[in-house]
Amino acid sequence: MSFIELGLHRGALQHAKASRGETRPLVAQARMTCRDVNVYYGDNHAVQNVSLDIHPREVLAFIGPSGCGKSTLLRCFNRMNENIPGCRATGEIRLDGEDIQGAEMDVVPLRLRVGMVFQKPNPFPKSVYDNVALGPQLHGLVKTRADTDAAVEAALLQAGLWDEVKDRLQLPATGLSGGQQQRLCIARTLAVQPEIILMDEPCSALDPIATAWIERTIEQLSSEISIVIVTHSMQQAARLSKRTAFFHLGKLIELGDTEQVFTRPQVELTERYITGLFG
């Protein structure tokens, strides 16, 4: 399967060394660094000794078979795994040099800085406006109605949804289409000004047209924000990401420039997965 067949039409990408669980920073100014991260569900060792970096203003794609640890690792980046009984993580994860796993780390501001978009759209049972406004209001990011109006409009514009909902702001968010609801959830995340956005298969429940809208939104956001996306679609990873990480049975098998991973994989297992021999 060629790189073009996978749907990647990109210019030259920065070279990133392919590795198998690299233990040193890939760039000096990584937004987030992970070193020797392990995650357990009881006795199940779901993520094994993973080390990687998240770079500024990039899309990093996680690919691999179901159950390989992609989503589990993703949830470590804003400590969402703490909501799962019996789950525990070890290793070091730092955001701008600060240890996010330390006892002194407050998860509320952490989750403002590292936002999350889930597999299925989950708008609040409120108006379109209130879905976006609630975060800035709760966290003191806006003081007046004018501030809130501006924050809502800005977030909806960033999510590529403003033109479709500007005359429907007071209507229930549940009346939007599935793709619109997912972009609303992205706008809701953007409204609190995150530095990194985690996306766990954000298009898996959407039709091709809605998927194209979400992908366009991700491409636009990546010029300002770091995005980590878990996807089962290799075509989507190829279209969107600057770098790709391939996981198998809880291990990071290969990490590198997307073009390199898809056309010149350094590990045989990666090549077998990319070419469809298993998965």
The two beta strands, 226-230 and 243-248, are unpaired
Per-residue pLDDT tens digits for 160-175? 999 999 999 999 999 9
Confidence of residue 83 (pLDDT cuts 50, 70, 90): confident
Percentage of residues in the chain having pLDDT higher than 70 = 90
Top pLDDT among 22 and 60 is at 60
Supply the pLDDT for residue 264.
96
Task: Answer for the pair 110, 95: CB distance below 8 angstroms, yes or no.
Answer: yes
Supply the pLDDT for residue 166.
97
To which H or E segment does residue 56 belong?
A: none
d(CA 220, CA 213): 11
Residues 6+ apart with CB under 8 A from 79: 100, 101, 105, 107, 110, 111
Residues 6+ apart with CB under 8 A from 231: 61, 62, 63, 201, 203, 237
Over residues 252-279, mean pLDDT: 94
Q: How many helices (H) and strands (E) does the chain have?
A: 10, 10
Over residues 118-126, mean pLDDT: 94
Confidence of residue 50 (pLDDT cuts 50, 70, 90): very high
Supply the pLDDT for residue 222.
94
The pLDDT mean for the chain works out to 89
Confidence of residue 21 (pLDDT cuts 50, 70, 90): very low
Q: What is the pTM (predicted TM-score) of this model?
A: 0.87
Task: Answer for the pair 41, 200: CB distance below 8 angstroms, yes or no.
Answer: no
